Amino acid sequence: MTAVPQIRPVTGAAHSRIHGVGGYRPVRVVPNSEVLEWIDSSDEWIRTRSGITERRWAGPEESVAEMSVQAAGKAIAQAGITADQIGAVIVSTVSHFKQTPAVATEISLKLGCPTAPAFDISAACAGFGYGINLADGMIRGGSAEYVLVIGVERLSDMTDVHDRSTAFIFGDGAGAAVVGPSDTPGIGKVVWGSDATQKDLISQTEAWDTAFAKPDAINGSTGDEARWPALRMDGQPVFRWAVWEMAKVAQQALDAAGVTADQLGAFIPHQANMRITDAMIKALKLPASVPVARDIAETGNTSAASIPLAMERMLQTGEAKSGDLALIIGFGAGLVYAAAVVTLP
Amino acid sequence: MAHTQDEVLSGLAEIVNEIAGIPQEDVELDKSFTDDLDVDSLSMVEVVVAAEERFDVKIPDDEVKNLKTVGDAVNYILTNAA
């Protein structure tokens, strides 16, 4: 009997980093004045509660897949690679309404990497960080050279426009990053986790099967706009968790990376609410010299897409520079979170 | 350490002033946080967290909605502070 051979060890890259980032913002701008046609509120109330002045809502042609392809194309171009070099496609979304096949496969086909492993994940507003963590592990583990991470949402499809506490918050869009090998560490330890005891704080109002069983009585509304289940959240406890618990997580990500806050070139939190960002800056004692992403003002809360969209904007406007260190932190329904220090592409 | 009502009220007034910019002298026991002092729901959470730290007390999320007036908060802190 011959000896059982040893399986050849897998080797990957020493380190990984983000090589390119790109975003897609839908054409249609929805200002607060339009939201006020649906809810009894005021522009000032919306601005002071959320910092949002307008958001983008996708049209029929701006599907989850199409927005992703546009964003990914920009990320791939910045990375200086071609689509056929993409070794895996990870898509984080909670608003793609066809569960199978994964939208990642449609995106990979349209991009020109139709043989790459492709799959969707569901981690809400932490989805981009979850995807980055998976990509980093896959690259260092030797299962892919370049991984495309996409966060994409059409949250307008899940917005109850008559819910005064959420109608103004959500927006649509896509953000993508190409993660690939690096000689030096470009992605710090991703501090991630969940608090499932608070899983009901942010959720879809109803499961699809029960919603379809009573199509005229969803959300207590009979209007056409409310025919889908919507997103709801319990503002005060979410605010408390997002600010003070997430400030601790952000600090852990800094500590794990061996970086101090004053060494950051950008702070890019999930664009959940400007008030959360402002309070988190205080709780984190972030030096005033660190530029902070405030993309939410004109984009709304785009869940998994918000961090790469905000990152792209900061690089485009010159608020942050390629090669600088950025602290990213996503947090949302689950509750789930992921934070890391990354080198900006 | 036990606090007196005056200590808690003046401490809360400082917190409300710092977070919401309300003059400390306006923070009185019978004032409603939202209706009289214009402390919105998110600022209220900031006030609660600051009060927890200052008075070494835990104010659970479920309890926050019951704290309608400054007096409600003062009483809760006096009853529950360590």
* pLDDT recorded at residue A2: 82
Q: Are A297 and A121 in contact (CB under 8 A)?
A: no
* pLDDT recorded at residue A215: 53
* pLDDT recorded at residue A224: 46
Size of interface A-B (CB pairs under 8 A): 28
Taking residues B43-57, report their average pLDDT. Answer: 93
The DSSP output letter for B65 is: T
**Record: contact B44-A236, CB cut-off 8 A:** yes
Residue among B40, B44, B49 whose CB faces A244 most closely: B49
Measure the CA dihedral A97/A98/A103/A106, to 10°. Answer: -130
Q: Are A230 and A169 in contact (CB under 8 A)?
A: no
Q: Strand, coil or helix: what is A142?
A: coil
Taking residues B1-10, report their average pLDDT. Answer: 85
* pLDDT recorded at residue A220: 57
Q: Which of A32, A96, A113, A125 is catalytic?
A: A125
Q: Strand, coil or helix: what is A327?
A: strand
Mutation pick from B18, B34, B44, B61 vs chain A, by most beta carbons of A within 10 Å, is B61
Taking residues B31-45, report their average pLDDT. Answer: 92
Which of the residues in chain A have pLDDT under 50? 224-226
Give me the phi and psi of B24, to 5 degrees please.
-60, -35
Q: Identify the helix (H) or strand (E) that includes residue A178.
A: strand A172-182
* pLDDT recorded at residue A226: 42
* pLDDT recorded at residue A222: 54
Q: Are B6 and B71 in contact (CB under 8 A)?
A: no
Q: Which residues pair with A266 in a beta bridge?
A: A326
Mutation pick from B46, B58, B65 vs chain A, by most beta carbons of A within 10 Å, is B46
Bond prior to A335 in cis (omega within 30° of 0): yes
* pLDDT recorded at residue A272: 96
State the first-to-last Cα distance of chain A, in angstroms, to the nearest integer. Answer: 54
Chain segment A25-84, per-residue pLDDT in tens: 999 999 999 999 999 999 999 999 999 999 999 999 999 999 999 999 999 999 999 999
Please, what's the largest Cα pairwise distance for chain A?
81
- Above pLDDT 70, what percent of chain B? 98
